[in-house]
Amino acid sequence: MPREVTASDGITWTCIQAFSGLGTDPEKAEAARVDGEADAFQVVCTPSGGAQSVRIELPGDWEQKISEEQLLDMIQAQLNQAP
């Protein structure tokens, strides 16, 4: 399920677990899992504005456990690392 967060600059980010739209096939569900991590998944966050989408690694319960502020900080950190 997507989660939306809005940054102070007005950009709304929609974050969703990578490959979540592939169905319930266990093999497809594993595609989003971070290699070597039992409970870590790739999450793609797409902006409403002109910024670039980012991919971050989050725990499996990120939708409930990660605060909006933490999620925005992780997105910003990824943007800062982009070349």
43 touches 23 (CB < 8 A): no
pTM over 0.85: no
Alpha-carbon span 55 to 46, nearest angstrom: 9
For residue range 5-16, what is the model confidence (pLDDT) as tens digits? 999 988 999 999
For residue range 24-83, what is the model confidence (pLDDT) as tens digits? 555 555 555 555 556 788 899 999 976 689 999 998 889 899 999 999 999 999 989 866
Output the CA torsion 80→40→49→9 (10° steps): -60
17 touches 24 (CB < 8 A): no
The string of DSSP codes covering 10-63 is SPEEEEEETTGGG-S-HHHHHTTBPTT-TTEEEEEEEESSSSPPEEEEEETTHH
